[in-house]
Amino acid sequence: MFFRSSSKPDPVPFPYKYSVGDFDRQKHSFNGAEFVCMKRPVASSENKKNKGFVKARVLIVHGFSEHTLLYTRVMDYLSRVGIESFVFDQRGSGQTSPGKLKGLTDESHTFQDLDHFIEWNLEDKSKETPLFLFGHSMGGGIILNYGCSGRYRDQIAGIACTGPLVILHPHSAPRAIVSFLSPVIALLLPRFRIDTGLDLNATTSDAQYREFLSRDPLTVPLYGSLRQIYDFLERGKRLARDKTYVAKFQTPVLIMHGQEDQINDPKGSQMFYDICTVSDKQLKFIPKARHSLCLEEDAIFEDMADGLKSWILEHATQRP
C-alpha cells in the first residue's frame, strides 16, 4: 500500500470492451454526497431465453481508491448468467469524490452509505430476487464487517469477496512506528491526506490492466485520509482477532484470495475463516493470482468468476 506514486502519463482506454448500452448509469444524492452509480441488468439474450427471469442481484463494494469502471468486466460476466448487479463510487473515491474530496470519508459514513444503497437495492429489485454482497480488498473488509454488525445483514442472501483487507501483507504494511501512532494521528488530523502509492506489480499479472491503472486519474495518486486508512485497518483487526464479534456473522460466505497477493495477506482470509462460526463458508486460494482478481489475466479471472457465479446461483436457489 505505502509506495510513492510516480508521475502519470496520459490515460489509456480500459482494456475490457464492456457493453456500454446495457449499463444504467445514474447519479444519486445522499447525505451530502453526489454518488455515481451503475446498474447492469441481465443481458438481453439471457432475458429472452429465460423470459426475463433474474436469478439474483449483486451489490458490489469496491476497494481503496477504486471506482465503478473497474467492475464492468465482472458485471458483464454476471449479466450473461442471469445475475444483475449494482456498484457505486464510494464516498472518498472515483467520480463521487473527485479532486480534493478524494479519501475524505470515515467509518460512520462508510456504513451509513452502504445501509442506504442496500436499502435502495432491496426496494428496487424484485421481491423474489435474492440480494448478495460482493466486495474486493477494502470493500471485502467492509462487507465482512457488515455481516457481523450491518443493519440489513439478515436480508442478505450471501457475502462473497476477493482479497479482503483483513491484514496487510508485509510487503505493503506500514512500519511499526506508523501503526503504533496511527490512532493518535487519525484523531488529530483525520482529514489530512497522504499519497499511499500503488505497487502496480502487486495488483495484477495482466500488463494491460497495470498500464491502465498507472494512467488512470481516478486511481492515482492513491490518496487516502488518515481517518480512512486508520478505519479500514481497524476493521481488518476485528475480523482477524475478535471472536465474539465474528461470531455474529451468520450469512453464507465465499472468500477468494490470490495466492500471490502482496497487498492483502492471504493469511488474513484464513484467520477470518478459522474464527468464523457460520457453517456455510468457503475459502478458495487461487494459484498464480495477485491482488485484483477482477483485473487479472483471462484464465485467472474466469476461474474466479466461474466460482462466484456457481456459488451465487447455488445459494440463490436455496432461499425460502
Which phi and psi (to 5°) does residue 110 adopt?
-55, -45
CA distances from 12 to 206, 213, 223 (A): 15, 9, 21
Q: Is 261 among the residues known to form the active site?
A: yes
CA dist., res. 207 & res. 15, Å (int): 10
Contact 225, 231 (CB under 8 A): no
Query: Crossing angle for the helix pair 138-149 and 226-241, nearest 10 degrees?
Result: 60
CB neighbour list of residue 21: distance below 8 Å, 6 or more residues apart: none
Q: Which is catalytic among the residues 106, 113, 261, 265?
A: 261
In the annotation, is 291 catalytic?
Answer: yes
Nine-digit cell string for 191: 482529514
Q: Which of 109, 257, 291, 315 is catalytic?
A: 291
Catalytic residue among 97, 137, 172, 205: 137
Q: Would you call 303 a catalytic residue per the annotation?
A: no
Identify whether the C-beta of residue 110 lies closer than 8 Å to the C-beta of residue 118. no
Cell of 137: 480488498
Provide the annotated active-site residues.
137, 261, 291
